[in-house]
A and B are shown apart, each in its own frame.
Chain A
């Protein structure tokens, strides 16, 4: 028999296994994040808390017998008071039969949960959306700085000079170093003047004058050497920049929900709204979201209805704009709120509506909006058709004539999720310039 010492063998033999696992986990997390865009409510997209994602893909399923159902016998140790024939009530949770048992079957397999911070969540999200790097950092660092008074400093810009502090320092220094006071010097000057004015000075006065002049020279020299305000006296108010959302904003999501909008198109629209919301929550302390959907009439709805219920009817865009205008006047006074608008539509509109629509847009909406973005979403299928000869939709045509010339209006066609971002690029470019 030999004892073989393997301790010096290279450890980490299962490193390749771990690497494979991590790669798989990353992929799964990514999939889960992308799926979560669909499933999570808009307001929660950028969670303050951590996000847990269950890992289905790394489960290792086997054909196993269910943990309940059917007839089964079990032998258990440690009988205390039972005798043959005793009956015990079954725990309630097991009553359900085959349908309800799914969650109980886990047997510790699903306990792998990955917790990712909001930062990582964004990273994964943006990676998936293939955003340019520059834009990623911009979106993430887009916080307005607010300056707070935080004490004093010995240097700073002249406008921030704190006079009281500076003069107090100066006074203390002048006293301690024995700089002659202006009043004393003036008294001296007056006395000298009086003596000099004397037409017939006595010898004593002359001696006195001499002494006073000497004194004046000494004081003058001292006053020259000891400055009235020295750079060491200077005190400035100090301001510390802290990231601070500037105020509150309201985001209007407008969407055409008529039958022509498919689930796919709504999903694209949702991504767009999601990004806008994310951007706004980074810039503003408080963001309200208002969902307005419209067919031939518009109404304010909750998010669930907004994204998931389908309506039939025609398409009159101006109703949504009018609704938006009404809500702004009702609830969002301009002096308190920054207003952002985002509209998603497949571009249909009644031609008779175009004038009303344009007038509302240019006269009522755009003047009060920080920014209004219009995205026209298309089915992936229609991409090929449209790429060759772009069949311009009614709404697009209308917007192109007027609103598109305004600096706070952007419009864009979106075929796939990769197209969502460029709209934002414009948005950032603009707010950057304005800042």
Chain B
């Protein structure tokens, strides 16, 4: 009897279990990873397509945009243009990984190592996820959100709900708090709050109010003097601002905005840690699979299958390759993790010069775990992109100045260029620079209620015009009064301005 965990490509529940245990032993026992408890779920390809369409979450409210995504994914898949992902992993406690029934046993092993330990460890330990997401509560919250949206649809009609969700989705990127985090209510609190709002509205409803003269009402309002700036402007979280201060939204509409905002916040860390997260998971599966092979637990055939798949995942086409579509986060992440390991264990003089604090420390897992816990993409690259990797990937920096008619190669992988390339690459992943910086700067609640958003241009890069106008129209719909979007450059000079006036209700 050989020590192989599995011999054929077919998986069974028995081999899955055995392989998982072997992987866990290596991941937790040898590498010292600290993941959430795992829950692995087997799904069919059709269910995978379903999961795709609702951003991978097992429970989600219904919206046409998910149907659109489904239609596109399904067509691409059926026509054979794209394959499906091997897995989906959810940042929750316990951590849920979906694996597909069509995978071979080798792929199942790879997927379990990648998702159930790599991603899982990253979710549990990275500071962004710890601060900004609630792995314990997310599934409960999604349950609440789904039920709430469904109830709103029943009560107020599909199109009314759709109107709000369409607008909210358009503002999702501007619906996150970039720094810090407000204390989050639990499911029970959310539920009771929503119910209390409803109950209060029903309790205090009195037909008599209708009969009061209008002028009296207006007087009463103007008596209660608002403090000078009750809205805490400027505010960068547009969804939060609209939820709290929009003069025209009803309570349930505010709650919908809140739901979309909370979900945007939940996904925000993932957008900031794409390279690290995938790098971590890829590095972990690479280590684990190699270790399994060294221990004689998987066959050479399985190892070859794994390597074929692994190299395809971490392949980085050159910039002039027709397949090039940006830097592959798997490739960059994996290379950086391997590079860190090398610097810690076998540093060169160059490494000692530029990363003295870790070079030759001898314990790669400790350094990696520290990095995984305390960095996000931009800071990680700024800290750890080594000259050697710059050379290996032959990275170069291209500058595009609107005033010039030519691009310029500003730096390449040479002595003078390392720092410049590293800094530029890090900036490329800085969420503050990647997303337009748009803030609410003025809302004249007591006057004509004109809402003014300001886009602080970074290096004069403007907004995509058509989209900006469409989104501004959504803002106008949520706000209910005139809205304006100004673009100002670093000298506070106005570069452009869009305005939108919602149609007056008859």
Contacts and interface: CB of A to CB of B under 8 A. Distances in A.
Interface of A: 1-7, 9, 11-14, 16-24, 58-80, 82-90, 95, 98, 101-102, 105, 112
A20 B428 CA distance: 37
Given A75-B395, A84-B416, A14 B400 contact: no
16 contacts: A2-B39, A2-B40, A7-B42, A14-B54, A20-B67, A62-B170, A63-B173, A64-B436, A70-B462, A71-B401, A73-B428, A77-B395, A78-B324, A84-B409, A84-B414, A112-B72
Contacts of A74: 397-400, 424, 428
Contacts of B497: none
A11 B407 contact: no
Main secondary structure of the interface of B (DSSP, over half): mixed
A64 B464 contact: yes
Interface string B131-154: 000000000000000000000000
Among B13, B174, B408, the most chain A Cβ lie within 10 Å of the Cβ of B408
A73 B70 CA distance: 35
Contacts of B37: 1
Contact of B464 (A3, A7, A65): A65
B67 A87 contact: no
B471 A62 contact: yes
A198 to B, nearest CB: 100
A67 B464 contact: yes
A75 B24 contact: no
Contact of A22 (B43, B54, B63, B67): B67
Interface string B58-90: 000011111110111000000000000000000
A6 B62 CA distance: 21
Nearest to B162: A20
B408 A87 contact: yes
A85 B396 CA distance: 11
B411 interface: yes
Contact of B408 (A22, A75, A86): A86
Interface residues of B, number: 97
B462 A78 contact: no
A262 to B, nearest CB: 22
A67 B326 CA distance: 14
B457 interface: yes
Given A19-B67, A62-B471, A71-B399, A84 B417 contact: yes
Contacts of B319: 76-79
A70 B460 contact: yes
Given A17-B64, A84-B417, A88-B409, A76 B461 contact: no
Contact of B42 (A6, A60, A73): A6
Nearest to A10: B47
Interface in B85-103: 98, 101
Contacts of A98: 462, 465, 496
A16, A73, A83, A102, most chain B CB atoms within 10 A: A73
Given A6-B41, A21-B71, A78-B394, A90 B407 contact: yes
Closest 3 CB pairs of A and B: A78-B318, A21-B67, A70-B461
B68 A112 contact: yes
A87 B409 contact: yes
B357 interface: no
B406 A90 contact: yes
A77 B320 CA distance: 9
B428 A75 contact: yes
Interface string B284-297: 00000000000000
Nearest to B459: A71
A80 B454 CA distance: 42
Contacts of B402: 69-71
B395 A73 contact: no
A105 B464 contact: yes
Given A75-B395, A78-B318, 9 more contacts: A3-B13, A13-B51, A14-B50, A21-B66, A24-B64, A63-B171, A65-B464, A77-B393, A78-B324
